[in-house]
Amino acid sequence: MRDQYDIVILPNGLGLAGAGRQSLYLAVGYRQLCSVRPVVAAFHLSAGGAEWCEERGVPWVVHQLEWDNGRRRRIASLLRLARQLRAFRPTVLLPYTMRPNIASGLIWRLTGARLCMWNQRDEGRQRVEPRWERLAVRSTPWFASNSRHGAGFLANTLGAPLESIRVIHNGVEIPNSIPQRTIWRSDNGLTDNMWLACMAANLHAFKDHPTLLRAWRIVLDRARCAPDRLLLILPGLDAGLGTALKALAFELDLGRSVRFLGWSDNVPSVLAASDCCVFSSRWEGVPNGVLEGMAAGLPVVGTDIPGIREAVGDEGCAILTPPDDAEAMARAILAVMEDPGMGRHMGEIGRERIRTEFAPEKMVRETTEWIEEGLERVGR
């Protein structure tokens, strides 16, 4: 970055999942690689985010945005946010996900910033009233998306100018030393000869855990090994579906073959202990759960949707299955289980793709270049 400036990064939640983690990667990347002073300003705290920032010397603050309590309170809350952000003397506002994007687009000029860059992190979830979306998009000069179909949503649905949109893939760290699989297994009472599948995702409706659970029932019935050697691991926050999913697991008689871990700050170790990354989502941007599985060197059995296809690339698409199809997903899981050589090969392909297409350094560099171009554009 040619000139030092201040940047305020605005995720919806200050946490270590999804877009929140990406925003924190960017803050640390800027702090280490560029002459930028980042501040993270989130709308609520999530597990682990504050500690993560403090360990890395990234300042953070939480602003409670009142969005759903009427128009007057919403406007008053937006004005309070503008005053709070103005105190940081930002050059750039960098929001993540729909509500921060809209809030920042509406008030960024009041903060004294020179640029606001909308970050589209999915294919169009968490929509708000169309008039607020339209006004925010018209007020925002610069856009980025972590996926091609997210960029398409910006242009085709929200009406953002194509020339102001750039696709910048997520950054995912490959651990310098992957924890030995035996450590996590031993700590959790599992033997090395067990076969583990893992889906790292919060328990949201759009992740479609029910299809995965039904596929796992088929796997247990058809696998050549004893069912007590198979385990499906599900780390992720309960976003309202935990009880229903556990009831379905009971109904399917999955017993001890599935473990709901809840939120985990040690997903890399869970993935390192696994043999396969599974992902049953119906729609996604580019899911971090898939990218983290690839970074761990795991084959990915996922649904054949644009975001997962974009993550795994052409070679990885060989073991993707149609959404809502438990039978097809079970067959793909069994194919990976019964051909370890193929699984290792697909895992190597995935890890190399992370190195070339999804490295954090690449994400920081491309975001920096796009911000620079935006600052030049608005300065004309």
Once rounded to an integer, what is the mean pLDDT over residues 323-350? 95
Runs of H (alpha helix) within 65-147:
71-86, 98-107, 130-139
Range among 8-12, 179-183, 238-242, 298-302 rated most confident: 298-302
Chain position carrying tokens 């479609």: 208
Please tell me whether residues 128 and 20 are part of one structural domain. Answer: yes
Q: CA 76 → CA 69, 88, 135, 300, 378, distances in Å?
A: 11, 19, 17, 46, 28
Looking at residue 286, its pLDDT comes to 86
What percentage of the chain reaches a pLDDT higher than 70? 93
Domain span at residue 340 reads 181-357
Q: Higher-confidence residue: 33 or 277?
A: 277
pLDDT confidence bin for 54, thresholds 50/70/90 = confident
Please tell me whether residues 87 and 210 are part of one structural domain. Answer: no
Please tell me whether residues 374 and 340 are part of one structural domain. Answer: no
Once rounded to an integer, what is the mean pLDDT over residues 163-187? 84
Q: Higher-confidence residue: 121 or 353?
A: 353
| Of the candidates 8, 5, 4, the residue with the CA atom closest to the CA atom of residue 39 | 8
Q: Is 369 helix (H, G, I), strand (E, B) or coil?
A: helix
Task: Specify the length of the chain in residues.
Answer: 380
Residue 260 belongs to a domain: yes
Tell me the C-alpha distance between 296 and 175, whole Å: 8
Looking at residue 177, its pLDDT comes to 59
pLDDT confidence bin for 230, thresholds 50/70/90 = very high
Residue 15 belongs to a domain: yes
Give the strand pairing for 276-279 and 300-303: parallel
Please tell me whether residues 190 and 319 are part of one structural domain. Answer: yes
Q: 256-286 burial, b for 16+ CB within 10 Å, e for fewer? A: ebbbbeebbeebbbbbbbbbbbbbbbebbbb
Residue 352 belongs to a domain: yes
Please tell me whether residues 10 and 43 are part of one structural domain. Answer: yes
Strand partners, 13: 44
Residue 176 belongs to a domain: no
Residue 210 belongs to a domain: yes
Residue 128 belongs to a domain: yes
Please tell me whether residues 160 and 215 are part of one structural domain. Answer: no
* Region for residue 110 given its phi and psi (left: phi exceeds 0; alpha: psi -120 to 50; beta: otherwise): alpha
Residue 347 belongs to a domain: yes
Looking at residue 83, its pLDDT comes to 92
Please tell me whether residues 92 and 227 are part of one structural domain. Answer: no
Task: Give the other-Cβ count within 10 Å of 84's Cβ.
Answer: 14
The number of folded domains in the chain is 2
Please tell me whether residues 165 and 189 are part of one structural domain. Answer: no
Q: Which CATH number is 77's domain given?
A: 3.40.50.2000
Tell me the C-alpha distance between 254 and 260, whole Å: 12
Once rounded to an integer, what is the mean pLDDT over residues 364-380? 87
Please tell me whether residues 132 and 247 are part of one structural domain. Answer: no
pLDDT at 316 over 80: no
| Of the candidates 3, 12, 4, 18, the residue with the CA atom closest to the CA atom of residue 237 | 18
Q: Higher-confidence residue: 110 or 265?
A: 110
Quote the tokens at residue 242. 């935990």
Please tell me whether residues 16 and 148 are part of one structural domain. Answer: yes
Looking at residue 169, its pLDDT comes to 92
Once rounded to an integer, what is the mean pLDDT over residues 251-264? 93
Please tell me whether residues 52 and 189 are part of one structural domain. Answer: no
Residue 95 belongs to a domain: yes
pLDDT at 181 over 50: yes
Please tell me whether residues 208 and 335 are part of one structural domain. Answer: yes
